[in-house]
Structure 1
Amino acid sequence: MEKLPNAAEESLGTAIAALNGELFESKLHSWLNRCLEMDNTTILVYYQNRPPSPLYLQAKDPSVHSEMETVYIGGAYLLDPFHELHVKRAPKGLYRLRDIAPDQFHRNPYYSSYYSCTTLIDELAFVAYPGKGVSLHICLGRDATSNRKFSTREVEVAQRIAPIAIGLAEVHWSGLSSTGDFQDSDVAQRLIDAAKAEHGVSLSGRQAAVALLILRGHSSASIGLRLGISPQTVKVFRKQLYRKCEISSQAELFSLMMPLLRG
């Protein structure tokens, strides 16, 4: 007797049938949940010339997404490891937050002001490129609701289904596109211009680049590797930066710079 499809396969078939329809997002979520049992799902599109836009939000605890519009889309996304994948045009595939986050990510003010509020414990993302200038992230999270991380086996399952999830996403959202070019240097220049206009502080390009990497959660050693300079030189730039801004801590730097990023 021929084997019948299991629940996950049936759910996948329903998602495929819903392609290009209004119910696709919910059917896609149902299939992914059959495979991985996540606590929350966030489908987000990143553009070149404007802030990202959420396409689908689902969570067992709605507070997980309570800061999405005000904090994340309001400018904090520029500090996010997943947004950096978009900027670098990282290969399509599966990414885990802990594998792409900077070495001091969990100790920086961005994490404490945004990620800690989401209560996220673990996060996986399927990264797709459905159109020119955009990337689409299907983020699957585990939060305080279950209080558990994705297991090795679950990550392996996610890796196996990644080509399917990405293929479906690229078909369904093929109409998305964005013009222009976006580089980290654009964000650094925004800091330079805004710091001068708002606070009368003149930052050099290197000081602004160091500030941005500090805000993202990079240590001096990590910043040095990124910029091709020694950790000691990074510390010199950090001291210059703090002196110019008349601050003495990373928390003060975040409080000063975050409003400038929102501009």
Structure 2
Amino acid sequence: MAGLPNIAESQLAETIRRMGRPGFESALLAFFRRIVAPDNLIILAYRDAGPPQVLFRQTELPQVFAQLDDTYLGGAYLLDPYHDLHVSRVAAGVYRLTDIAPDAFQRSRYFTEYYRQTTLIDELTFIAYPVAGVSLNICIGRDAASGRVFSATEAATCQRIAPVVVALAEQHWAGLAAETGPADDVAGDLIAALREHGIDITPRQAEVALLILRGHSTASIGLRMGLSPQTVKVFRRQLYARCGLSSQAELFALMLPLLRGS
């Protein structure tokens, strides 16, 4: 009987063999390369307190992760759509950035000041929960190295293999440290940090500020907060007036250093 071209299946078998052992992450990346050919891979463990833990990263272009340690882990992760999925405790599975990003994400300062600099043009992330309070993000991306997004067929392939990837991740990282201590109060920390600068804002205004920075439009903020667009605009005007700002760029410049201290 002639052998079948089962290279991807053979690589999956090797990934299974390395589960719980050194080389698992590299074997998993090799499996992904066989089926959807990503340009990069990063694996992050999110907890409710503090920045995510980087478990693995691999890329052909250094620029992709050039600002990861300083900017992203330094506080910008709080504005990332995938961090929002962690807070929401979405079901395990695979999520595409274009499907879960806020409606004005590509116009946000987070996107223009950080995300665009990575050269990432598409991202698919497998989310698993290996231990209580920890969400594991296995992010495969396309960047300037290939200059192309994942095709519909590739995205569908990731949907099909998601249960397998999630099961592997939950077993391999079952020994991760669980969540300890109280969850970050991002809005509260932002209010306190601004107060130290002589600026007083309300909890509602702080929530509006964070949603603006995450890339939500006025309509989207209204839906998230249960407010009318007109009320959101009032909160935005009050926020800008109290902070002495006139643009989202100024809001980002003021808030990001404060988020780094949260």
> Shorter-chain-normalised TM-score: which range?
over 0.9
- 2:242 corresponds in structure 1 to 244
Structure 1 residue 48, shift from structure 2 partner = 1.9
Answer whether contact 1:87 1:182 (CA < 8 A) is retained: no
Answer whether contact 1:132 1:179 (CA < 8 A) is retained: no
In structure 1, what residue type is equivalent to 2:186?
V
The CA distance in 2 between the partners of 1:120 and 1:233, in whole Å, is: 35
- 2:99 corresponds in structure 1 to 99
The CA distance in 2 between the partners of 1:106 and 1:225, in whole Å, is: 19
Once the two structures are superposed, what CA deviation does each residue of 1:161-194 show, in whole Å capped at 9, x if it has no partner?
A: 11111110000000111124537xx111111000
Once the two structures are superposed, what CA deviation does each residue of 1:200-229 show, in whole Å capped at 9, x if it has no partner?
A: 111101000000100001011000000000
Does 1:71 find its partner at 2:71? yes
The CA distance in 2 between the partners of 1:27 and 1:163, in whole Å, is: 17
Structure 1 residue 2, shift from structure 2 partner = 6.4
Q: TM-score, normalised by structure 1?
A: 0.97
Correspondent of 1:231 among 229, 232, 247: 229
Structure 1 residue 119, shift from structure 2 partner = 0.4
Once the two structures are superposed, what CA deviation does each residue of 1:73-118 show, in whole Å capped at 9, x if it has no partner?
A: 0000000000011011000001000000001100111011111111
Answer whether contact 1:97 1:123 (CA < 8 A) is retained: yes
Once the two structures are superposed, what CA deviation does each residue of 1:13-72 show, in whole Å capped at 9, x if it has no partner?
A: 111001111111101110111111001111111012221011111111121011110010
The CA distance in 1 between the partners of 2:29 and 2:146, in whole Å, is: 18
Runs of 4+ in structure 1 deviating by more than 3 angstroms, as ranges, are 2-5, 180-183
- 1:212 corresponds in structure 2 to 210
- 2:140 corresponds in structure 1 to 140
Q: TM-score, normalised by structure 2?
A: 0.97
- 2:89 corresponds in structure 1 to 89
The CA distance in 2 between the partners of 1:13 and 1:5, in whole Å, is: 14
Q: Percent identity?
A: 57
- 2:187 corresponds in structure 1 to 188
- 1:178 corresponds in structure 2 to 179
The CA distance in 2 between the partners of 1:62 and 1:128, in whole Å, is: 27
Structure 1 spans left out of the alignment, 5+ residues: none
The CA distance in 2 between the partners of 1:113 and 1:20, in whole Å, is: 38
The CA distance in 1 between the partners of 2:3 and 2:89, in whole Å, is: 41
- Equivalences, count: 260
